[in-house]
Structure 1
């Protein structure tokens, strides 16, 4: 654990309280991404395997920290939401585009934060499929480090916008860039993209092709580290193109994502 200056709002993964200050607000594990107040870090073992009882939340917690605490490849909330959506059927028109009930989404979020994988998201408890889909999107949107990390962001966006590369070259270079993703991000991205491809297989009924899903998911899976609003505005197109490429070429990426 090293003293660290966080950019933007961050919370302690031990006590779930805000990390106050402008510089050196807390400490960060360089291996697993665990964030904590300096005082809280004294109560955390140094084995880079945070105990789930010390990780007070699920939403807004570093992805690597969460899967290490849960001892899983992907977060339980992602696995459970995708499983529930596919169990109920992915033919619902506007899946992922239509928002769920806000109060129910918040109730599920709080339940996951409190009860983890014991959370009940069954149809008997929440009969609106769009609510479960909204919970999944919310989880990715609240990640402090996006699923496609800041480190990889510029690399893949530059590849997508490069006119001199053909499609095969772009795919290969994007795949190589994804080798820089932390394992937890890698596995979770693979799981999500495979699911989104299965959604497109029912696009005649759900009206959600790869382009439509990319419009929905690009803002939740990527965030530019660049603060210039003009850059962010022009990058939207390429962010969408990237997610669409991943969905359309899911077998290539999901086979090669380790």
Structure 2
């Protein structure tokens, strides 16, 4: 059944509630926004220092995080902060094998690269 969500409800004023819900939504997707098939390629590109290629990224499914970063002075969410918060939920391996700490470092770097190149990767 469809449930009505009242966005004027005071509980949605807490940005941590909204951010937590968004992270949970992304984490519960069967496949992350950056598909599993791209994970190894993106990590390898970051290790080489070239940055990932985005030719076949599904642009219509990617959120608009640049809007958050535009207000970094007010919300203290720099590119690095957004990458740290959302990196593990937007990009993850199909199986949790190997060095997870190292994966997290590279995941964050990939997401940071995506955010820095956002307008180039996803032109309006």
> Could you tell me the TM-score, scaled by structure 1's length?
0.44
**Secondary structure of the structure 1 residue equivalent to 2:2:** helix
**Secondary structure of the structure 2 residue equivalent to 1:115:** coil
Which residues of 2 match residues 1-258 of structure 1 at below 5 A? 114-115=1-2, 118-124=4-10, 126-163=12-49, 165=50, 170=51, 173-176=52-55, 179=56, 181=57, 183=58, 186-189=59-62, 192=63, 194=64, 196-230=65-99, 232-255=100-123
Question: Unaligned regions of 5+ residues in structure 2, if any?
Answer: none
* 1:212-255 superposed Cα distances (whole Å, 9 cap, x missing partner): 1100001111111244232x321211110111111111110111
Query: How far apart are the structure 2 equivalents of 1:127 and 1:202?
Result: 17
Kindly indicate whether the alpha-carbon contact (under 8 Å) linking 2:11 and 2:17 is maintained by their aligned counterparts in 1: no
Aligned-pair RMSD on alpha carbons?
2.1
Relative contact order, higher structure (CA 8 A, sep 6+): 2
Query: How far apart are the structure 2 equivalents of 1:125 and 1:227?
Result: 34
**Secondary structure of the structure 1 residue equivalent to 2:31:** coil
Query: How far apart are the structure 1 equivalents of 2:19 and 2:80?
Result: 18
| Greater share of residues in helix | 2
Query: How far apart are the structure 2 equivalents of 1:253 and 1:216?
Result: 21
Bigger Cα Rg: 1
Question: Unaligned regions of 5+ residues in structure 1, if any?
Answer: 1-113
Displacement after TM superposition at 1:209 (Å): 0.2
**Secondary structure of the structure 1 residue equivalent to 2:13:** coil
Kindly indicate whether the alpha-carbon contact (under 8 Å) linking 1:121 and 1:132 is maintained by their aligned counterparts in 2: no
Query: How far apart are the structure 1 equivalents of 2:53 and 2:12?
Result: 38
Query: How far apart are the structure 1 equivalents of 2:114 and 2:97?
Result: 26
Query: Cα–Cα, structure 1 residues 133 and 226, in superposed 2: closer, same or farther, change >3 Å?
Result: closer
Q: How many residues align?
A: 124
Deviation >4 Å, runs of 4+: none
